[in-house]
Amino acid sequence: MLAKEWMAVDPIVIDENTSIMKATQLMKEHGIRRIPVVRDNRIVGIVSDRDVKEAAPSKATSLDVHELYYLLSEIKVKDIMTPDPITLDENDSVEKAAVIMLENRISGMPVVNKQGEVVGLITQTDVFKVMISISGAYRSPIQIAFDMEDKPGSLHALINALRESGARVVSVLTSVDHMPAGRREVYVRLQNMPDSELNSMVEKLRKDFKVLYVIREDLSNIPKKSQKQD
């Protein structure tokens, strides 16, 4: 999964000599929290709403409104931006993006081409979309988790057993985290089936495989609440 397939394309960028007042207006108009800063179309920094807030005069300032607007129009984003920001190549994987964001505790970063031009932005939300897509969560209400020996052929045997039971596999994910050496967890999502068929299938699977859990959950109708996002 390449970043260019999941990133937000044609992002807003600003020249390094743009005032922080203009940067603030753009963020408010477009509902964004960071803007890549460019010089001759190549990225040189990134400015966030936090940078702007920290650079703006305190509410307790003695400046009048005209002096305040003048000051904000004179301060350039190059004076407050984070220079040489972490970027991702458009042909890097989304997995790499996730690792970079996790290790650096950032929620998004610019995506550039070979010429160093900004061609997109990728955020934690995009990574979440990828995770949901590959897991098949929207298409499958049933997930079964297995504790399996990590050896060649074990996964093939499980998939065959599921198919022989009449199950239609939507996705298969595995993890060795938190597992002892030589073991792995396998998470299988299946197309919907009646509880009676599911229970019967699981009982048969328990004879040859260690079933950790079986859950049925509808993720297509999750409640949505208005809240501030990071």
Tokens representing 165?
């039971």
* Spatial contact of 210 and 150, defined as CB atoms under 8 Å apart: no
* pLDDT (tens digit per residue) in 83-123: 999 999 999 999 999 999 999 999 899 999 998 899 999 99
Q: Which CATH class is domain 3-131?
A: alpha beta
The two counts, helices (H) then strands (E), for the chain are 8, 12
pLDDT at 65 (0 to 100): 56
Pick the CATH number of 136-216 from 3.40.50.700, 3.30.70.260, 3.40.190.10, 3.40.50.1220: 3.30.70.260
With H, G, I as helix, E, B as strand and everything else as coil, classify residue 124: helix
Give the residue-averaged pLDDT of 32-58: 85
Does 228 score more than 80 pLDDT? no
pLDDT at 223 (0 to 100): 73
Query: Please, what is the average pLDDT of the chain?
Result: 88
pLDDT at 75 (0 to 100): 83
CA distances to 148, 170, 175, 179, 180 from 184, rounded to whole Å, are 5, 19, 6, 6, 8
pLDDT at 59 (0 to 100): 46
Which pTM was predicted?
0.77
Angle, alpha carbons 117-17-82 (nearest 5°): 65
What are the residue boundaries of the structural domains of the chain, listed by start? Answer: 3-131, 136-216
pLDDT at 127 (0 to 100): 94
Does 61 score more than 60 pLDDT? no
Tokens representing 40?
């001759």
Does 171 score more than 90 pLDDT? yes
Identical fold, 3-131 and 136-216: no
**DSSP state for residue 63 in the 8-state scheme:** -
Does 41 score more than 90 pLDDT? no
- Listed residue (41, 14, 32) closest to 112, CA to CA: 41
Radius of gyration for the alpha carbons in the chain, expressed in angstroms and rounded:
25
The strands making up 34-39's β-sheet, listed across from edge to edge, are 14-15, 34-39, 42-48, 82-83
